[in-house]
């Protein structure tokens, strides 16, 4: 089992819709959770991070974390064609024997059509 699992998609939504991306992780000691966006042929770039249970909002993006269920999600409201990219979930533990470890999921390819 991979440390970080994502619904592999691809996911296709119309412009203006809400896109929902999901991620689960296996290490209960994980501390920080990230969503990265990667355009084709480019390097990943950070969208959001979250480390407390609940929701965190930043503009059109909302990250949700449920540590009991080991689940993290990303909602993109009012999706735009420019949001079309691969979204990568990442999980970090900066403690003890796993200090510095940062694992990514397989990514979900999102297409927003006009």
Partner 1 sequence: NAGVTQTPKFQVLKTGQSMTLQCAQDMNHNSMYWYRQDPGMGLRLIYYSASEGTTDKGEVPNGYNVSRLNKREFSLRLESAAPSQTSVYFCASREQGYGTEAFFGQGTRLTVV
> Can you give the binding site for partner 1, defined by CB under 8 A?
2-3, 6, 8, 31-32, 34, 43-46, 49-51, 88, 90, 94, 99-107
The nearest distance, CB 107 to partner 1, in angstroms, is 4
Residue closer to partner 1, measured from CB, 16 or 31: 31
Residue closer to partner 1, measured from CB, 9 or 75: 9
**Is residue 28 within 8 Å of 42, Cβ to Cβ?**
no
Q: Which residues, 6+ apart, have CB-to-CB distance to 63 below 8 Å?
A: 33, 35, 48, 49, 50, 55, 56, 72, 73, 74, 75
In the chain, count H helices and then E strands. Answer: 0, 11
Residue closer to partner 1, measured from CB, 17 or 111: 111
The nearest distance, CB 39 to partner 1, in angstroms, is 12
């Amino acid at each position: 089992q991979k440390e970080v699992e994502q619904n592999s998609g691809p996911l296709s939504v119309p412009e203006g819709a809400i896109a929902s991306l999901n991620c689960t992780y296996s290490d209960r000691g994980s501390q920080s959770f990230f969503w990265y966006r990667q355009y084709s042929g480019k390097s990943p770039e950070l969208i959001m991070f979250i480390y407390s249970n609940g929701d965190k909002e930043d503009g059109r993006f909302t990250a949700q974390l449920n540590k009991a269920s080991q689940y993290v999600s990303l909602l993109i409201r009012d999706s735009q064609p420019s949001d079309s990219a691969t979204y990568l979930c990442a999980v970090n533990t900066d403690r003890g024997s796993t200090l510095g470890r940062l694992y990514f999921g397989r990514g979900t390819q999102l297409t927003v059509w006009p």
